[in-house]
Structure 1
């Protein structure tokens, strides 16, 4: 089971992407636990997390996110704007899985 957390401005638009990522994982037979949260709640939503991803609208917080995630050993990156805009669950899932391998 791979635990992925997405963080964005309010956690709303990202919920659509979460569902698409879950469908992509199911199609590949990968067990995932994916949820979206507001970026300002990151510190309290990282327990047991394998990967954290930031929505492009909060990409400017990456340095702060790297510090918070680094303390818990969680890899973090920003979702590419194109993949987020297209709600490409498959590509975002691939990014998360690639980051998880580095953990």
Structure 2
């Protein structure tokens, strides 16, 4: 799950991540949500990534997800470049063997 203020600025990034996952043969449910909606949607998330603009919410988001769910901020360079491959790599590195394929 990618979290940003309106859930819209990450739409392109989500699209690129989905294409990267598909090319790699990874079945992934990747979605963008707003900071307002994320509290209701983090229950099923395996990893939560925050857009750089939502960095200030890192501690709050970590407290709101269930134990063991990694929460990190997307690197500004990856986000600015809309690097779907790089952000997918970040997500995969955070969940390790816990990803369901």
Task: Tell me if both proteins adopt one fold, taking TM over 0.5 as the criterion.
Answer: yes
Q: Match of 1:53?
A: 49
Q: Match of 2:19?
A: 23
TM-score by length of 1: 0.89
- Mapped partners of 2:25, 2:93: distance in 1: 16
User: Retained in 2: the 8 A contact 1:46–1:72?
Assistant: no
Task: Give 5+ residue unaligned stretches, structure 2.
Answer: none
- Mapped partners of 1:66, 1:102: distance in 2: 20
**Structure 1 position 75 matched with structure 2 position 70:** yes
RMSD value, Cα: 1.3
Q: Which runs of 4+ in 1 moved over 6 A?
A: none
- Number of residue pairs matched by the alignment: 98
Task: Give 5+ residue unaligned stretches, structure 1.
Answer: none
- Mapped partners of 1:10, 1:38: distance in 2: 5
